[in-house]
Structure 1
Amino acid sequence: MKTPYYLLLNDKPFQIILVQTLSSISTKTLNYHHRRYQLQQIALLMHRIKLIPIYLRLWKTYWKSGMGQFNLDSKEQYSYPMNFKIWPEKIQSILSFIQIKEENKQQMYIDFVYDYIDELKQQLTTSQIEYEKMTKNFHGYTLSIEELLEDYLEKNLSSLRMHIEHKIKLIHYDYHIQVIKLIYEQEHPNEYQKKIFKELCQDKYEEEKIEQELRFSKQQMNYYCSFDKSLKNYDGQQSSYNECKEM
């Protein structure tokens, strides 16, 4: 897994986190750089432990859509059935290069998504085991150090978390659109009616997509403004927080 820029040893905010952490531990000059590297590895493992569940949530949403399981955890009541098996375009696109009979596609999607979710779960378990091992072997690792790293990671993962939630909402919305289309087709509309209905659905989807993107952009702006304010504590530089508030 690629190291994110905010966990690179030359990233200034991360450097300050490392200095704050190591200053609370009795560290000899000779092994300072080694301890710094160890802390980076611990932070990377913690990052994976936080990152993987975010993607698990996305892929489980793909699974529920493809298996017609959205109704299992939904408290809302719909006037149409929610057990249609509709695989999101993302999954269909990933596997579009495979030449396979139409009747075998469902099983192909099931196997692919199931295996990917299983792989993510295994990576999560492995990362948790490695994290426990590394923190036990790191002399002086305390709850306060863990909380400091967690806070730093949460700030940097917030944008991605919002982005994934945005994608999940669009998957849900697209699923409803596709279900309505399928039900409509069961009424045997003529070609003109199909054309009009398709255009209406597309317009509605685009409208919802734009609305979701606007919400997402606003959330991102609020996040970056608040994060910029917190960065002032890291580098002591003039913050643009007030400028953000005025936007």
Structure 2
Amino acid sequence: MTAVASSSDNLEKYRQIAILIHRIKYIEILYSVWKVYLQSGLGQLKSDFSRNELRPHVWVKSVQSMVKMAVRSGLEKHDACLTYVKNRLVQLDKSKQECHADLQVQLNHLSHYSTIIQPAIDTFIEENLLSLRKKIQHKIQLVYFDYEEEIIKHEYLKQNPNDAQIKLAEELCTAKQQEILSKYTSELLDKQLIHYNDSYNLERLPIARVPLFDSIGNANVQQQFYSHYKQIIEQTKEDMLNLYTQSARTQKIRYQNGYNDKMKKIREEQYLLPDEQKLTTKMIEIIEQHARLIEKRLKSIHYFKLEKLSIQS
């Protein structure tokens, strides 16, 4: 009886240890993204586009949204964001230290912490946190993309472009975004439709049963109503899916090669402009850098969505 009680007691202690280790790792993952938020806001992120004299302070939109009330009260946006992010990091660090202290207490209550059980606990926790870790890694990657985009924009403005040249750069980058986005939207929709059709089952949907039909006493008549009803639903579903697919493909064709065609046209038109209105070689180089960055960002988002979809399958 004592052995059973002791075994049960140890099992509960291991459970508490697992919970605390999970919390510590969870906090560490959150801390990593808030640390990057701080570095971005202070202009401390390392980037291939960085220059010693060009380190913009970029606060992510989610942080800016969280400090709106403070900004409305008169606090400078940068100061409000800085205070908010620093406080968040302090809170996370405090929570982590508390968990570490609680974990040490639990470990001290065990006569020995099994070298067999520990790896099993660690493996279980890592598997449980894998989805969150990937999500946070993706968030961090997007912060870097935003930061690099801001550097490129600053670099372009340093070339002293006129209004027409600024507008031209914006049009080219919009064309690149539309081209790549339409491509990935079409690909993702195809994958989503495959996933939807594989998991689709009308009988599991709330609309599968109709109280009015169920009230019909004649079983044959009731079955006829249901058969016709389900045919209409299936046909409507098929028509809607075809419409979505066709719309995405039409948009993809519309924007396909839009950036390259527009860039080619602009290069041809440049010969007709006075020298002071032409895009300089440096301006074109920066625009092309921006276009490549847009493509990298959208590609990252696309593959993250595909991975989420594969996990759901």
Fold similarity call, TM over 0.5: yes
CA RMSD of aligned residues (A): 3.1
Match of 1:241 in 2: none
Question: After the TM superposition, which residues 51-130 of structure 1 pair with which residues of structure 2 at under 5 Å, given as runs?
Answer: 51-71=26-46, 76=48, 78=50, 81-98=53-70, 99-101=72-74, 104-130=76-102
Percent identity for Structure 1 against Structure 2: 27
Aligned partner (choices 109, 128, 149) of residue 156 of structure 1 = 128
Paired amino acid for 1:42: I
Aligned partner (choices 104, 110, 133) of residue 138 of structure 1 = 110
8 Å contact from structure 2 (residues 34, 89) kept in 1? yes
Greater C-alpha radius of gyration: 2
TM-score (norm 2): 0.54
State the secondary structure of the residue aligned to 1:143: coil
Inter-partner Cα distance in structure 1 for 2:296 and 2:156: 20
8 Å contact from structure 2 (residues 64, 77) kept in 1? no
8 Å contact from structure 1 (residues 70, 82) kept in 2? no
Match of 1:22 in 2: none
String of CA shifts for 1:158-177, please: whole Å, max 9, x gaps. 22111111111111011111
8 Å contact from structure 1 (residues 66, 87) kept in 2? yes
Inter-partner Cα distance in structure 2 for 1:51 and 1:27: 36
Question: After the TM superposition, which residues 205-244 of structure 1 pair with which residues of structure 2 at under 5 Å, given as runs?
Answer: 207-217=295-305
State the secondary structure of the residue aligned to 1:97: helix
TM-score (norm 1): 0.67
**Count of aligned residue pairs for this structure pair:** 196
8 Å contact from structure 1 (residues 49, 128) kept in 2? yes
Q: Structure 1 runs of 4+ off > 6 angstroms? A: none
Match of 2:167 in 1: 195
Shift in Å, 1:154: 0.9
| CA 43–27 in structure 1, closer or farther in 2 if over 3 Å, else same | farther
8 Å contact from structure 2 (residues 40, 57) kept in 1? yes
String of CA shifts for 1:172-226, please: whole Å, max 9, x gaps. 011111122123234443444333333444524653333113443566688x59x
